[in-house]
Chain A
Amino acid sequence: MDMGLEPHVVEFAPKLMPRQLDARSSNVLQLTLEDIGIHIHTGKATNKIIGEDQITGMDFDVGIRGGVVVNNKMQTSDPSIYAIGEVALYNQMIYGLVAPGYEMAEVAVHQILQTSDTMMSASIDMSTKLKLIGVDVASFGEPYMPADKGLSIIYENKTKGVYKRINVSHDGKTLLGGIMVGDAEDYGILHQMYINNMPLPDNAEELIVGARGEGGGSAFGSVMDLPDEAVICSCEAVTKGQVCCSVIDDGNETVKAIAKATKAGTGCGGCKPMIADLVKESLKTLGKTVKERICEHFDYSRQELYDIVKTKKVTSYNNLLDLVGTGNGCEVCKPLVASIFASIYNETANKQESIQDSNDRYLANIQRNGTYSVVPRVAGGEISPKQLIAMGRIAQKYDLYTKITGGQRIDMFGAQLHELPLIWEELIAEGFETGQAYGKSLRTVKSCVGSTWCRYGMDESVSFAIEIENRYKGIRSPHKFKGGVSGCIRECAEARGKDFGFIAVEGGWNVYVGGNGGANPKHALLIAEKVDKETAIKYVDRFIMFYIKTAQPLQRTAPWLEKLEGGVTYLQNVIINDSIGIVDELDREMQALVDSYKCEWKEAIETPEIRERYTHFVNSEEKDENIEFVSLRDQKMPKEWA
């Protein structure tokens, strides 16, 4: 299709992948493929291919599938000729899979060399997982279930093109087989449960729909529950025991090292996640914690590196790499070190631009078609009509798509690289400053309208939100962080869904930390009640600083707090009761960050060398003509991805 041709798939059987899939899953697969533009013809046997030089047509006929008949020694009718793989018709079947092919090869080799009398087994495991033009398909054991043998649990979601089926014994205790189309992530463990005859959990449906309730934990248990003889890598026939021995006895502590030593994971690669789990668990049994190592260039955790930079006063990435690292760096350690420099020296992303994540390097968020979005800060979500008009005028001039964000500000999309300094020059002239929407840094502090207008308001939430957003603006951190301020317990600002939140109550402010929305929503936890504004700010100052210094890369406050030993009680002791004697230092460090803020876009447009970075070509004034927009409700959007 990439070559502009029209692909057709001709299948002899009445449905796709007849050995592995039942009628419904085969149908899901067929619809997904047809959606991509592939024509499917089932129940067609090719009799003749017509045309010279190129195919002009095909003559279909219903006939018996061919193949060279072999016996269980892989011998053809001529005893000195062997056949294996897809040419061999064994048990009246052609096995179009790699694993039976390997097995046949082994039998044939042993027969030819007369080393042992290995025979092909009568029952062949047709389990497989593969990707068919981007669609995950897997099947194992008994894919369809005669009612006298067992029962099926079926999950189908046509909107997502997902079909899953597992077949269990009548007593619900053993897994007999299954099919997965559209999502085959759990194939590895399900296949293991099947071949090792492992007991099923009480609610077998959780195996395909996921566990419900708190945490949504795995229904499978641990990979360590598998017997040692369980084959983890079926391409290379490597067992769980071999993988674990390789870790424990031979000191191979990475998936790569295991692959080198045992060949596990070097075939289809589908078992790699399980090998990674086995490595981790085996190391645990040795009493080794898996060291939090940034990447191959720095053998340290983020916190260790933070301390090194601070105590050794390192100020450049290259120096740090020379001093305590190896090699030439990568896309993992570079932005991490950039973030540490920002947290310690509050330097903007303009200074060491080549170690910044791409978004920080250009001070804008790259969007689907390689254009950027522009988000000025609108502290607390308060914006005057004059500012709105200015923003509207600029957005219109540069033909930008505008939308209100979830953080109570305005996002302008579709700016090309060379337009960014021009747009920001105009915004800054109107009194705007960067909103750091591109950074791992403070995003916004959301507020409700508060006691200035609201008849329920207990305090001025907007004023507080503006003050606190201006206090933390520009501060870069292990991950983005957001705040909220609500004027009463009705909580219209959703402050408890933020990394930090203040809620006005009778007699002061309640302070919450460690919440977020996103993939795993978490409510923030209460750390102080009815405190005055100054105290509330002090606690959150210390919380943020403590988080910045100790969190792992790209870890938000909620998972950080969850992993923090002693949890919220420990946090309260550290930042309120000064149990480890660091609050003065935290206060000082935070104040230094607050005092040294500068708008990095202002810096960028005023510095010619920085402005020069904003050009698509370095040898031409031309624009990127690859960018295409289509219209959308009186605005525009990038052309859809193929």
Chain B
Amino acid sequence: MIANTFETVKTENVTTWFKAAPTSKFPKNAGACIKYKDKQIAVFNFEREGAWYACQNLCPHKMEMVLSRGMIGEENMEAKVACPLHKNTFSLKTGENLNGTLDAIATYPVKVEDGFVYVGFAD
């Protein structure tokens, strides 16, 4: 099952900081998708908040690889992404489904160094 290939990685558990792409490749206040091994990861440059986020590109509702194309925003100060298919929203901090009871999405740590975006993985 494809949903099982994603698992949240905490910064302290990162074994590989994957050098994804230069920051210029990522739109401001929106998302883009990167490929790491067989995984599709959505990366968001939430410039207005001054933070970067990463999560699985797969929406757990209908199992489509679309979250990177969703709009980002915040709800009660918590960054979130809205799936472009049915507007289900997920916290970019905890992965939790904010407007329903869908499974949480996996989130990944992001760091920016020397103009490059790195996403943390444990595999």
Interface residues of A (CB under 8 A from B): 2-4, 296, 318, 321, 327-335, 353-355, 357-359, 361-362, 366, 368-370, 417, 613, 616-620, 622, 624, 626-627, 641-642
Q: By the criterion CB–CB under 8 Å, are B66 and A622 in contact?
A: no
Q: By the criterion CB–CB under 8 Å, are B89 and A4 in contact?
A: no
* 8 A-B contacts (beta carbon < 8 Å): A4-B1, A328-B49, A370-B64, A370-B66, A618-B20, A618-B25, A624-B65, A626-B40
Is residue B6 contacting chain A, with contact meaning CB distance below 8 A?
no
CB distance from B82 to the nearest CB of A (A): 4
Is residue B63 contacting chain A, with contact meaning CB distance below 8 A?
yes
Q: By the criterion CB–CB under 8 Å, are B63 and A618 in contact?
A: no
Most A C-beta atoms less than 10 A away, residue of B30, B43, B70, B89: B30
CB distance from A319 to the nearest CB of B (A): 12
Q: For the complex of A and B, list the 3 residue pairs with the smallest distance between their C-beta atoms, beginning with the closest.
A: A330-B73, A358-B84, A331-B82
Q: Mark B91-111, 1 if CB is under 8 A from A, else 0.
A: 000000000000000000000
Complex-state Cα separation, A369 to B46, whole angstroms: 26
Q: By the criterion CB–CB under 8 Å, are A618 and B66 in contact?
A: no
Closest residue of A by beta carbon distance from B70: A358
Q: By the criterion CB–CB under 8 Å, are A619 and B21 in contact?
A: yes
Choose among B25, B30, B75 the residue that contacts A619 (Cβ–Cβ < 8 A).
B25
Closest residue of A by beta carbon distance from B45: A354
Closest residue of B by beta carbon distance from A131: B101
Is residue B54 contacting chain A, with contact meaning CB distance below 8 A?
no
CB distance from B39 to the nearest CB of A (A): 11
Q: Mark B58-70, 1 if CB is under 8 A from A, else 0.
A: 0000111110011
Known: A327-B77, A328-B49. A620 touches B84 (CB 8 A): no
Q: By the criterion CB–CB under 8 Å, are A318 and B73 in contact?
A: no
Closest residue of B by beta carbon distance from A317: B29
Q: Which residues of A contact B34 (CB under 8 A)?
A: 617-620
User: Given A296-B76, A613-B27, A619-B34, list of 19 further CB < 8 A pairs?
Assistant: A328-B49, A328-B74, A330-B73, A330-B75, A331-B82, A331-B89, A332-B73, A333-B73, A335-B71, A353-B27, A357-B71, A358-B69, A358-B84, A366-B66, A617-B35, A618-B20, A618-B21, A618-B26, A620-B35
Q: Which residues of A contact B112 (CB under 8 A)?
A: none
CB distance from A622 to the nearest CB of B (A): 6
Q: Mark B33-45, 1 if CB is under 8 A from A, else 0.
A: 1110000100100
Q: By the criterion CB–CB under 8 Å, are A354 and B30 in contact?
A: yes
Q: Which residues of B contact A354 (CB under 8 A)?
A: 27-30, 71
Overall SS of chain A's interface = loop
Q: By the criterion CB–CB under 8 Å, are B48 and A318 in contact?
A: yes
Q: By the criterion CB–CB under 8 Å, are B20 and A331 in contact?
A: no
Complex-state Cα separation, A618 to B71, whole angstroms: 17
Closest residue of A by beta carbon distance from B71: A331
Q: Which residues of B contact A358 (CB under 8 A)?
A: 69-71, 84
Known: A327-B77, A622-B35. A353 touches B30 (CB 8 A): yes
Choose among B1, B43, B48 the residue that contacts A2 (Cβ–Cβ < 8 A).
B1
Q: Which residues of B contact A624 (CB under 8 A)?
A: 40, 65
Complex-state Cα separation, A335 to B20, whole angstroms: 29
Q: By the criterion CB–CB under 8 Å, are A329 and B73 in contact?
A: yes
Closest residue of B by beta carbon distance from A362: B69
Choose among B1, B69, B74, B79 the residue that contacts A3 (Cβ–Cβ < 8 A).
B1
User: Using a Cβ cutoff of 8 Å, how many contacts connect chains A and B?
Assistant: 103
Closest residue of B by beta carbon distance from A357: B71
Closest residue of A by beta carbon distance from B28: A354
Complex-state Cα separation, A4 to B2, whole angstroms: 11
Q: By the criterion CB–CB under 8 Å, are B80 and A616 in contact?
A: no
Closest residue of A by beta carbon distance from B76: A296
CB distance from B113 to the nearest CB of A (A): 16
Choose among A2, A334, A355, A368 the residue that contacts B3 (Cβ–Cβ < 8 A).
A2
Closest residue of A by beta carbon distance from B64: A370
Q: Which residues of A contact B27 (CB under 8 A)?
A: 353-354, 613
Is residue B85 contacting chain A, with contact meaning CB distance below 8 A?
yes
CB distance from B114 to the nearest CB of A (A): 16
Is residue B10 contacting chain A, with contact meaning CB distance below 8 A?
no
Known: A4-B1, A618-B33, A619-B25. A641 touches B71 (CB 8 A): no
Q: By the criterion CB–CB under 8 Å, are A369 and B70 in contact?
A: no
Q: Which residues of A contact B49 (CB under 8 A)?
A: 328
Is residue B32 contacting chain A, with contact meaning CB distance below 8 A?
yes
CB distance from B80 to the nearest CB of A (A): 7
Choose among B25, B28, B35, B80 the residue that contacts A330 (Cβ–Cβ < 8 A).
B80
Complex-state Cα separation, A205 to B32, whole angstroms: 52
Q: Which residues of A contact B62 (CB under 8 A)?
A: 368, 641
Most B C-beta atoms less than 10 A away, residue of A333, A354, A359: A354
CB distance from A576 to the nearest CB of B (A): 39
Q: By the criterion CB–CB under 8 Å, are B26 and A642 in contact?
A: no
Choose among B65, B71, B77, B80 the residue that contacts A626 (Cβ–Cβ < 8 A).
B65
Q: Mark B7-26, 1 if CB is under 8 A from A, else 0.
A: 00000000000001100011
Complex-state Cα separation, A466 to B105, whole angstroms: 47
Q: By the criterion CB–CB under 8 Å, are A327 and B74 in contact?
A: yes
Closest residue of B by beta carbon distance from A269: B101
Q: By the criterion CB–CB under 8 Å, are B33 and A617 in contact?
A: yes
Q: Which residues of B contact A296 (CB under 8 A)?
A: 75-76
Q: Which residues of A contact B73 (CB under 8 A)?
A: 328-334
Complex-state Cα separation, A627 to B65, whole angstroms: 8
CB distance from B3 to the nearest CB of A (A): 7
Closest residue of A by beta carbon distance from B26: A618
Q: By the criterion CB–CB under 8 Å, are A361 and B30 in contact?
A: yes
Closest residue of B by beta carbon distance from A613: B27
Q: Which residues of B contact A417 (CB under 8 A)?
A: 69
Known: A354-B28, A366-B66. A619 touches B71 (CB 8 A): no
Q: Which residues of A contact B75 (CB under 8 A)?
A: 296, 330
Q: Which residues of B contact A616 (CB under 8 A)?
A: 33
Q: Which residues of B contact A613 (CB under 8 A)?
A: 27
Closest residue of A by beta carbon distance from B58: A626
Closest residue of A by beta carbon distance from B3: A2
Closest residue of B by beta carbon distance from A417: B69
CB distance from B72 to the nearest CB of A (A): 8
Q: Which residues of B contact A355 (CB under 8 A)?
A: 29, 71
Q: By the criterion CB–CB under 8 Å, are B77 and A361 in contact?
A: no
Most B C-beta atoms less than 10 A away, residue of A327, A328, A417, A613: A328
Q: Which residues of A contact B69 (CB under 8 A)?
A: 358, 361-362, 366, 370, 417
Q: Which residues of B contact A318 (CB under 8 A)?
A: 48
Q: By the criterion CB–CB under 8 Å, are A618 and B32 in contact?
A: yes
CB distance from B122 to the nearest CB of A (A): 19
Q: Which residues of B contact A368 (CB under 8 A)?
A: 62, 64, 85
Complex-state Cα separation, A618 to B30, whole angstroms: 13
Closest residue of B by beta carbon distance from A369: B64
